[in-house]
Structure 1
Amino acid sequence: MIRPFGWNEFLFILTAAQWTLALSAIAFAGGGIGGFAIALARTSGARPLRLAAAAFIRLFQGTPLLMQLFLVYFGMNIIGFQINAWIAAMVALSLHASAFLGEIWRGSIEAVPEGQSEAATALGLRYAHRMRFIVLPQAARIAVAPTVGFLVQLIKGTSLASIIGFAELARAGQIINNATFQPFTVFSIVAALYFAICWPLSLTARRIERKLARAAAR
C-alpha cells in the first residue's frame, strides 16, 4: 500500500545519511593506510615493490567500483567467507580508495624537488629520516587539496553500495520511494543531503588550493 511521505520517512533517510558518513570515514581511513603504503612503494628504490604497487593501482583504477563491490561481496561468499553488505562495502571502498590515494600521494611525493632529498642525503640522513623530516611534510601540503577532492568523490561513490543491499543514503531513498511513490520529493531530499555533505568539502578544497597557490607565488 502506498503511504504518504512524512516525518518518519524523512528521519529514515536522515539516519541513512549517518551510515553514508560512517562508510565514507572508514573507507577513507582504510584507504589512507593502504594509499600511504602504496605511495611509499611506488617511490621506493625496490623495483618489485614499484611493480606490485603499480599493478594494484592499475587494477583498481581500471575497473568500475561497482564491479569491485560485486567481486568482494559475492566472491567472498562463494569461496566460503560469509560477509554482510556492510563489511563488503567497507573492504571494496577501502581498496578503491587505496589505489587512488596512493597515486595522489605518489605524485605529491615526486612533486617535491629532488634537490631536497639530495641535500638530506648529503647531510647523512637515511631514507626513513629523509622521508619523515624532509619529503613528506612538503608533499603533505601539495596533497591536501586533491585528497579532499577525492574524499568528495568517495562520499558520492558510497551510493553504489546500495546495489549489494547496504542501506546508505541512496538505498534509503529507493526504499522510501517504493513505499510512497513520490520520487521527486524523496530524491530531492537525498540530493540535498549529498549536497550538504559534499559542498563544504569542495569549498574547503578550493580554499586550500588558493592558499597553496598564493604561498607558491611568494
Structure 2
Amino acid sequence: MPLIRPFGWDEFWIIVIAARWTIALSVIAFASGGIGGLFIALARVSDTKWPRLIATGFIRIFQGTPLLMQLFLVFFGLNILGFGINPWIAAALAFTLHASAFLGEIWRGCIEAVPSGQREAATALGLRYFNRMRYVILPQAAKIAVAPTVGFLVQLIKGTSLAAIIGFTELTRQGQIINNATFSPFLVFSTVAAVYFALCWPLSLLARRMELKFSRATTR
C-alpha cells in the first residue's frame, strides 16, 4: 500500500508551478484560435456564398458539441488513424479549433455591429472587400471586440482543465496527482481553485473595464 504524505509547501508549489502549462495551452489556443477566428469571421461576412456556408457549418459543429467530446475525438481519433498524437498536441489542436469557432462568431457580431453607413460609404468610394475590411470595418470592430474577446479568454483558461481527461498534465491534472499522493482533497483543490482565480480574476476585471469604457464612448 503506498504511503500517504502530508500536503506541505512542496506540494503547494508543485501545483502553482503547474499553472505554467495551463498558461501555455491558453496562450497557444488563443493565439492560434485568433488567427482561425479572424478567417472564420471574415468568411461569415463575405460577399460570396460558399465561404459563408463553410464558416457557418464550422461554427455550428464546434459550438454545438461539448468541448470534452472534441478533445476525445482529436486525441483518440487521430491515434486510431495512426498519427500517434500526444496529449499536448491533441489539447492544443482541440482548443485551437474550439477558440476559432467562438472567436469567429464573436468577431462576426462585432463586424456587423459597425454601422452599415460605414460599409456603404466604403463601397461608394470603390473599395473592394479586402480594403473595405482592412481600412474601414475592422479598425472599428476591433474596439467593440476587446471586452468580449477578453471575456472569452477567461472562459478558455478555465476550460483548459478538461485537458486533464486526456492525460495532459496542467493545473487540474497536477492537482489530481498531488491529491492521490496526499489524500487532502480540500487543501489540494482549494489551491487549484485559488490559482485559477488568480489567473482569471484580473482578466475579468479588464473585460468589465473595457466594456464600461466602450459603453461610455458610444453614449457620448
Asked if Structure 1 and Structure 2 have the same fold, meaning a TM-score greater than 0.5 normalized by the shorter chain, the answer is: yes
- Among 197, 213, 216, the alignment partner of 2:215 is 213
> What letter corresponds to residue 59 of structure 1 in structure 2?
I
Partners in 1 of 2:62 and 2:129 — Cα distance? 29
Partners in 2 of 1:138 and 1:178 — Cα distance? 51
Q: Could you tell me how far 1:202 is from its partner in structure 2?
A: 0.3
Partners in 2 of 1:162 and 1:102 — Cα distance? 26
Q: Could you tell me how far 1:194 is from its partner in structure 2?
A: 0.3
Which residues of 2 match residues 106-121 of structure 1 at below 5 A?
A: 106-121=108-123
What is aligned with 2:36?
Answer: 34
- Provide structure 1 residue ranges, at least 5 long, that are not aligned to the other structure: none
Q: Deviations over 1:47-67 (max 9, x none)?
A: 111010000000000000000
What is aligned with 1:46?
Answer: 48
> What letter corresponds to residue 20 of structure 1 in structure 2?
T
Mean Cα deviation higher: 124-133 or 208-217: 124-133
Q: Does 1:131 align with 2:133?
A: yes
What is aligned with 1:57?
Answer: 59
SS in 2 for 1:25: helix
Which residues of 2 match residues 54-203 of structure 1 at below 5 A?
A: 54-203=56-205
Partners in 2 of 1:63 and 1:162 — Cα distance? 19
What is aligned with 1:15?
Answer: 17
SS in 1 for 2:212: helix
Partners in 2 of 1:129 and 1:87 — Cα distance? 36
Partners in 2 of 1:132 and 1:80 — Cα distance? 41
Partners in 2 of 1:201 and 1:192 — Cα distance? 15
Q: Could you tell me how far 1:108 is from its partner in structure 2?
A: 0.4
Q: Where do 4+ consecutive residues of structure 1 move more than 3 Å?
A: none
Partners in 2 of 1:107 and 1:197 — Cα distance? 27
Mean Cα deviation higher: 200-209 or 3-12: 3-12
- Provide structure 2 residue ranges, at least 5 long, that are not aligned to the other structure: none
SS in 1 for 2:109: helix
Partners in 1 of 2:99 and 2:198 — Cα distance? 22
Partners in 2 of 1:12 and 1:85 — Cα distance? 20
Q: Could you tell me how far 1:124 is from its partner in structure 2?
A: 1.9
RMSD in angstroms over aligned alpha carbons?
0.6
Q: Deviations over 1:20-68 (max 9, x none)?
A: 0000000001110110000000000111110100000000000000000
Mean Cα deviation higher: 2-11 or 173-182: 2-11
Q: Deviations over 1:197-216 (max 9, x none)?
A: 00000000000010001100
Mean Cα deviation higher: 194-203 or 10-19: 10-19
Mean Cα deviation higher: 111-120 or 53-62: 111-120
Mean Cα deviation higher: 124-133 or 75-84: 124-133
> What letter corresponds to residue 54 of structure 1 in structure 2?
T
Between Structure 1 and Structure 2, how many residues are aligned?
218
Partners in 2 of 1:91 and 1:98 — Cα distance? 10
SS in 2 for 1:44: coil
SS in 2 for 1:97: helix
**TM value normalised by structure 2:** 0.98
